[in-house]
Amino acid sequence: MAIFRSASGEGRAEVVLTAGNPYGSRTLVVERDEDASVAYLCSPDGAVHGAVWLANHRPAPPVVDLARLNSGRPPLMPRPGTTHPAGRGPLGRLSVLWFEEGDGVAIYEDDELLAVIPGWADMSRGMPGYARDAVGESPFAWALAEALEGLAPRISNARSYWLWRHAEGSWTSFQQFAMSHLDRVLGRAGRYWDASGERLPTVGITERPPDEEREFTVLSTVGMSCQRMPTVEQWIDKPGAYARIELAVATRDDPREAALLLVWLAQYPWHSVTWLGHGHTAKWYHEPSTFPLGPGYAGVLMLADPPDMPDMSGFTFGGEAVRWLWLTPITTEELEEHRH
């Protein structure tokens, strides 16, 4: 069954809202025609990752209208699945609230929660978003009321986070907090580079030169832990211990070369809507000959708390512990071993 084919405005559908997340990795598109309204969560290439029916604007059919679905028009919810079987008028003023991770979104109608498309929505597995006017579970929407116990804290946290994040001085206060922690565990700071350009999340790289206790330079990101990584809860039962990270790399060579690894990965989780954890690998995005730590390597392995590296523990943000993942260069063969 073709459920939600695209957010392209096929047929007679009209796009009534388009809103991108702060990281540029997901866009919410709300469409309607004279009969129904629907919301899609899309990636930049137009692929639909989540979708949810929002409203019927005419009386509900007794069963699914397959001809309508196959034409790519917004679906009509069958009568048993809607709290408004007679239909309802056009949607009011719409606004959105993105999850801190950027992979899910709450949709409001006239400031009342209308629907949620979480990061775990997956149309291919029959998991749409949640809608206020839905009853039970259908391929088009699941009842929002039945999921609010779990969703409400996420939405509340998102609202608090973005209020804080957009407040004057929020980034500076976080940056000072993180740098103070690194001063304690790594010693004095050297150079500092911006790793984010004009895009969120804001991330910098701090250099910690060798000292009496350490013969090598340590470079660390500053800012990755300022927002939770996407999709962690889809893989781990207790994501709170894994959702906030920073990356580090140790080098005896030119620190500017090693810093390129951190520039490469610093924004990756939010732009690619994924997460990084202990034991994960990343393949260098360019030719192996350009790998910053030497042409013999093709990527990195990420390790939490390696025994020969400084202990970075003790930093928390948002009530959650921050883990440092150390980047270790690996060869093409080692990359393949870790994938299997």
Residue where the block lists tokens 């979104």: 105
Alpha-carbon distance values, 206 to 183, 277, 289, 312 (Å): 10, 21, 26, 14
Q: How far is Cα 141 from Cα 126, in angstroms, rounded to an integer?
A: 9
Which pLDDT belongs to residue 71? 85
Q: What is the pLDDT of residue 32?
A: 94
To the nearest whole number, what is the mean pLDDT of the chain? Answer: 92
* Among candidate residues 11, 12, 46, 14, the one with its CA nearest the CA of residue 30: 14
Higher pLDDT, 2 or 23: 23
Position 6 scores a pLDDT of 47
Return the bridge partners of 122, or none: 127
Convert the pLDDT of each residue in 24-35 to its tens digit.
Answer: 999 999 999 999
What is the spatial distance between Cα 167 and Cα 162, in angstroms, rounded to a whole number? 8
Residue 140's φ and ψ, nearest 5 degrees, are -95, -30
| Beta bridge pairs of residue 248 | 220, 326
DSSP state letter for 76: P
**Residue 305: which of 332, 282, 266, 278 has the closest Cα?**
278
Kindly report, residue by residue over 222-236, the tens digit of the pLDDT. Answer: 999 999 999 998 888
Q: How far is CA 266 from the centre of its chain?
A: 13
- What length does the chain have? 340
How far is the C-alpha of 337 from the C-alpha of 321, rounded, in Å?
30
Q: What is the pLDDT, as a whole number, of residue 4? A: 54
Could you state, in order of their start, the residue ranges of all structural domains in the chain?
14-165, 168-338
Q: Strand, helix or coil at 161?
A: helix
Q: Residue 57 has what DSSP assignment?
A: S
pTM for the structure as a whole: 0.92
17 with 40: CB under 8 angstroms?
no
